[in-house]
Homo-oligomer: A and B are copies of this chain.
C-alpha cells in the first residue's frame, strides 16, 4: 500500500485528510444542466478555468458543447493549450514584454483571444504577433460598472476598436464586459435589474462600433450568478461562468440550481471538551474570505473558527457524538480560491475514489 496515493476504489472515509473531494456525479450534472441552458439561447458557454484549473474538467465542459475556455492568466492558458484545447480567451490584459512574447508564442498552438484596454498595449501586441507571423484576436474590455480594468463604454471603446482593426496581425473581435459587481446579488430581481443595466452599456457600445463599420463578432461577459440573465441578452455571444461546475456554499445562496460538488474531507483530531471538536483543516486548506465553510450532513455541528492548520467545531447541538478520528466533510464558501490551495482533486462516485486529477493550473498566477 502506498501512503501518498490512495488506492482507486477506496471508500472515501479511508482517505488521508485533509483532502479535496469532488463528487463526480454532481459535477457532471452541473455541466449537463449548464449545457442544457445554452441550447436555449443565442450565447454560448466559454467556461472560466480560474475555478477548477484542471484540463480534464475543461475537456468535459467542451464535450458538453462549451466553445472553448476562458482563462484569467497566461499561465493558466498555457496549461489549457498544453492539454490540447485550441479555443482560449484570456480575459485579462497582457502587458509586460516577457508575457507578450509568451502569448504570441502560444498563439502558434491555439486560437487565442486576449483583452486590451490601452492603445500602447495594442501596438506592443501587434509588433510581437507580426514578428512571429501569428494572428491574435483582440477584445476591447469595457468597464461596465465593476471598476477594475477596461475602458469606458462608448467613444473610448470605439476608438480602441479601430486602433486594433488597423494594427497588423491583430483582429478586432468584439467586446468584453464583466458584471462582477452584480453576479452575487442574492435577490434575483435586483440582480437581473442591475445586470441588465450594466450589460446595456456593452450593447450600446456594440451598436456604436457597428454603426462605424466594424463587425463585433464576440460579446463576452457573465458569471455563474448571471448566466441566465446575461446569457439571455440576444447580443451576447459567450458567457464566462466558472463556479457552476463545482459550486460553493456562498454561490449556492445566489444560484440554487447547481449542486455543491466540492468538499474538504477532514478528521477530528481533538475533543478538548464537550462542546468543541478540533479538525485537521484550516485556512491553508479552505479559504474564508466569503465566510466560514459549512459542515455537510451532520445536524447541529458548526465551524466557528479556522486557524492556519486547525478548525474549531461547535458540537454542543450535534445529533451525534463526534469522536477523535471521525471524518467530516466541509463545503467551501469560495471554490476558486479553495481549489487553488490544492494539488489534486480526488474524484468520488458512490462514496468510492474513482480518479485523481492534477490541478495543473494551481498557483499559475503569472
Contacts and interface: CB of A to CB of B under 8 A. Distances in A.
Interface in A232-286: 267-272, 276, 278, 280-281, 283-285
A65 B309 CA distance: 27
Contacts of A41: none
A18 B186 CA distance: 33
A358 to B, nearest CB: 12
Interface residues of A, number: 59
A334 B3 CA distance: 31
Interface in A10-69: 16-19, 50
Chain A interface main SS type: loop
Interface string A293-337: 000000000000001111010000000000011000000000011
B98 A3 contact: yes
A137 interface: no
A127 interface: no
Contact of A363 (B16, B342, B365): B342
Nearest to A50: B308
A73 interface: yes
Nearest to A306: B289
Task: Return the 4 tightest CB-CB contacts between A and B, nearest first.
Answer: A149-B270, A72-B309, A93-B269, A95-B269
Contacts of A309: 50, 72-73, 92, 365
A180 interface: yes
A211 interface: no
A133 to B, nearest CB: 19
Nearest to A124: B325
A288 interface: yes
A282 to B, nearest CB: 8
Copies of this chain, whole number = 2
Nearest to A71: B309
B150 A272 contact: yes
Contact of A289 (B120, B280, B289): B289
Nearest to A268: B95
A132 to B, nearest CB: 14
Nearest to A15: B98
Given A180-B307, A340-B341, A341-B341, 13 more contacts: A16-B99, A16-B366, A92-B280, A95-B267, A117-B270, A118-B324, A147-B272, A148-B310, A149-B310, A283-B289, A283-B337, A284-B336, A289-B289
A96 B325 contact: yes
A360 to B, nearest CB: 13
A101 interface: yes
Contacts of A285: 365
A343 interface: yes
6 contacts: A16-B366, A17-B366, A50-B309, A95-B280, A280-B366, A281-B365
Interface string A132-150: 0000000000010001111
B269 A149 contact: yes
A101 B287 CA distance: 29
B324 A341 contact: no
B284 A365 contact: yes
A121 interface: yes
Contacts of A280: 73, 92, 95, 365-366
A118 B273 CA distance: 12
A120 B310 CA distance: 20
Contact of A148 (B16, B289, B307): B307
